[in-house]
Chains A and B, each alone.
Chain A
Amino acid sequence: MKKHYIRYALEFLVITLGVTLSFFMEYRREKQYKEQLKEQSLSRIYENISSNDIPDFELNIRIHEMSIRSAEWIFEHHNQFTEQMRDSIGYHVMVVSNMGTVLVDNQEEYRSLQNSGLIELIANEDLVKGLQNKYTVHNFIKKIEDYNNEMFMQNLQSFARLNMLILSKESTEFYLPVRSRYTGDLRLPDSFLYDIRLKTNIDKQYIGLVQQRLLQDRNILDQIETEIK
């Protein structure tokens, strides 16, 4: 009788251990597979940030800085436009009226990471928060751009269209005509100056936000490199 007890107890133990070991091996295999997918996904996000987002931010900063410089030129000289060349006035009016940006970011890989649950496999908590924060801020940046475009750019462009003469077919790197001449009244309307003032305020806030974003993106890249190693 005792022999039977021992036999069945051993059998029970062997079956339990065998099935548990199978589950454990499957769990390890699944985890390794998910880790591989996570690293693949992070590599793509790395690529998106380094090849797309960072250059886009740097370009957008340049564009907003150009607009600010032209706005400042206009504020400095608008009371003495009779002493300025109409081509110079034309250039600055053209820049301030047309220099706006549209952030086009590729969120697809991040959304896949998020929706698949693979984001939970990222050991570095700061990286997770960094990525979440990044895409939240992207939405805010787009909102600022929409606001800038709807509130100011349309009016400024209407004014420019009525008061500018395009003198060349060639354009600069930002698709502005190389030469344009201001043909309007040398006393700029208050509404135009008002819009430039507010737009410049928003341009400066935009630059501050994007510069901060650039620093944080570079930090995210470092963290992804560490996570993938």
Chain B
Amino acid sequence: MKKYYIRYALEFLVITLGVTLSFFMEYRREKQYKEQLKEQSLSRVLQNLEIDNEDYGFNKAAHLDALNAIRWIDQNHQNVSNFHPDTTGYYIQLAAFTSTTFYDNQEEYRSLQNSGLIEFIEDEEIVIGLQNKYVTHEYMKHLEDEIDGFVERLKPYRHKNVYINSEKTNVRGYPIDATYTGDSEIPLEVVQALHEKRWWHELYLKRVDELISGDQLLIKEIQLELE
């Protein structure tokens, strides 16, 4: 009887160990595969971050153009007749018309998120960083919508007082060949609207700078995760 107990106990052990080992090997294979997919995905996210950086640069330059133009109008709105109408037209056009459209490639991040592979990222900072980044992106788009509101609000003034001479644009594609046809003084309500617009541009620039530093940090962390 004792012989049978030992025999079946050993059988039980052998079968359990064998099956467990097989499951373990399958688990290891699956884990390696998901790690590989995660790394592939993170590499693509890294490339997306680098492209976003270029977009930030472009948008930042456009908003700075608008701020410079608003500053010029702020300094000279009471005596624009001292300047050539083309100069005044140039600044009014840039100040009142400049807005940007930030478009980001969220596809790989969404794939990472929807497939569950995001859970394989060991560095918690990367996960939080990515989540915050894309939430901030939505906020940036909202800021751009606010600025578009001012572009629309200033349209009647532009229509009456600025004449676009040609299709000539600056390096960022904004039309700049414009002639001012209005009075010697820019109305106060227009200057006020530009002051408000300026506030939104400054907020946008602050957020873009935060995004740029955040992304630089994310890039380093992702590179470490991939090593």
Quick check: B173 and A15 within 8 Å, CB to CB? no
Task: Write out the residue numbers on chain B whose beta carbons fall within 8 Å of the beta carbon of A51.
Answer: none
Is A11 located at the chain interface by the 8 A CB criterion? Answer: yes
Q: CA–CA, A190 to B17, complex, Å? A: 86
Interface window among A59-67, A137-145, A212-220: A137-145
Within residues 15 to 61 of chain A, which ones have a CB less than 8 A from any CB in chain B? 15-16, 18-20, 22-23, 27
Contacting residue for A114 out of B25, B110, B164, CB 8 A:
B110
Instruction: Give the distance to chain A from B137, nearest Cβ to Cβ, in Å.
Output: 12
Interface SS of chain B: helix, strand, loop or mixed? helix
Give the total number of A-B pairs whose CB atoms are below 8 A apart. Answer: 109
Asked whether, in the complex, the Cβ of B44 is within 8 Å of the Cβ of A128, the reply is yes
Give chain B residues whose Cβ lies under 8 Å from the Cβ of A193: 163-164
Give per-residue flags for A118-154: 1 if the beta carbon is below 8 A from chain B beta carbons, else 0: 0110000100110111011101100110010011000
Interface: B61 (CB within 8 A): no
Among A18, A19, A20, A190, contact of B160 (Cβ-Cβ < 8 Å): A190
Chain A residues with CB below 8 A from B47, complex form = 129
Residues on A with beta carbons closer than 8 Å to the beta carbon of B44: 128-129, 132
- Residues of chain A within 8 A (CB-CB) of B22 are 15-16, 19-20, 22-23
A198 and B111 in contact, given A8-B14, A20-B22, A132-B105 (Cβ under 8 angstroms): no
Give the residues in chain B near A184, CB-CB below 8 Å.
none
Write the nearest CB–CB distance from B168 to chain A, whole angstroms: 10
B83 interface residue per 8 A CB criterion: no
Q: Quick one: closest A residue to B19, CB to CB? A: A19
How many of chain A's residues touch chain B, expressed as a range?
Answer: 35 or more
Task: Select which of A115, A120, A136, A205 is within 8 A of B104 by beta carbon.
Answer: A136
A198-229 residues at the B interface, CB under 8 angstroms: 198, 200-201, 204-205
Rounded to whole angstroms, the CA-CA distance of A68 and B44 in the bound complex is 38
Known: A8-B10, A12-B17, A151-B151. A143 touches B167 (CB 8 A): no
Interface assignment of B15: CB less than 8 Å from any CB of chain A: yes
Shortest CB–CB separation between residue B141 and chain A, in angstroms? 9
Cα A133 to Cα B105 in complex, Å, equals: 7
Asked if B114 is at the interface (CB within 8 A of a chain A CB), the reply is yes
Whether B159 lies near A195 (C-beta < 8 A) is: yes
Instruction: For the complex formed, measure the closest distance between the CB of B218 and the CB atoms of chain A, giving whole angstroms.
Output: 18
